[in-house]
């Protein structure tokens, strides 16, 4: 169910909450090195929405040598927010799934908005693409030591190698 939440949330962010300032990358195109998809990931901070312990969003970026600016571990975030995602299906999401997707989208938009705000302390530095085709997926929550994360709140993480989020600097959140 987490993959459905991630998919719905990304569309809400890109089409409703922050249109024209967010993009959704095509995973197969990104992994194959399609220039348009690679550039969209390299030129701006990426958010990984991991729907389960396999951490596919974070792993996709890892395979290209990219660290996400923010990582949502959706099962942990759902539990912290009081959502039970056991109902519904990928084709027919339940009302709870839709409500939780909206909540995730709003939180993503809030964090992204803080990053984009004029005068924001957030200082993103473009990463260098370092494809790692010999690597394969690692499991959550810490990519088995390959990436170290700081927990911002239950289910939301920032890799230690990425800049502080504006809410960390201001003490909000």
Tens-place pLDDT, residues 64-121: 778 899 999 999 999 999 998 776 666 656 777 889 999 999 999 999 999 998 888 8
C-alpha dist (Å) from residue 62 to 83, 90, 104, 121, 143: 29, 25, 22, 25, 9
Could you tell me the pTM of the whole model?
0.85
Report the C-alpha gap between 69 and 112 in whole angstroms.
10
Report the C-alpha gap between 168 and 173 in whole angstroms.
7
Task: Please give the mean pLDDT across all residues of the chain.
Answer: 83
pLDDT score for 141? 47
Q: How many structural domains does the chain have?
A: 1
Q: What is the mean pLDDT of residues 1-11?
A: 89
Length of the chain: 173
pLDDT score for 28? 82
The tokens 């473009």 sit on which residue? 126
Q: What's the domain range around 108?
A: 2-170
pLDDT score for 140? 43
DSSP-assigned letter for residue 144? G
| Model confidence pLDDT, tens digit, residues 28-49 | 888 778 888 888 888 889 999 9
pLDDT score for 119? 84
Output the CA torsion 100→103→109→111 (10° steps): -110
Q: What is the mean pLDDT of residues 148-158?
A: 92
């Amino acid at each position: 169910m987490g993959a459905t939440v991630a998919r719905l949330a990304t569309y809400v962010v890109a089409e409703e909450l922050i249109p024209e300032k967010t993009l959704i990358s095509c995973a197969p195109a990104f992994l194959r090195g399609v220039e348009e998809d690679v550039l969209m990931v390299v030129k701006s901070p990426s958010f990984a929405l991991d729907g389960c312990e396999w951490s596919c969003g974070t792993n996709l970026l890892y395979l290209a040598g990219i660290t996400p600016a923010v990582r949502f571990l959706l099962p942990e975030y759902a539990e912290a927010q009081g959502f039970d995602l056991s109902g519904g299906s990928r084709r027919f999401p339940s009302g709870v799934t839709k409500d939780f997707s909206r909540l995730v989208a709003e939180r993503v938009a809030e964090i992204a908005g803080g990053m984009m705000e004029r005068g924001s302390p957030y200082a993103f530095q473009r990463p260098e693409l370092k494809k790692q085709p010999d690597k394969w997926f690692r499991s959550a929550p810490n990519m088995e030591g390959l990436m170290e994360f700081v927990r911002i709140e239950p289910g939301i993480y920032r890799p230690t190698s990425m800049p502080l989020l504006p809410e960390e600097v201001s003490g909000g959140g």
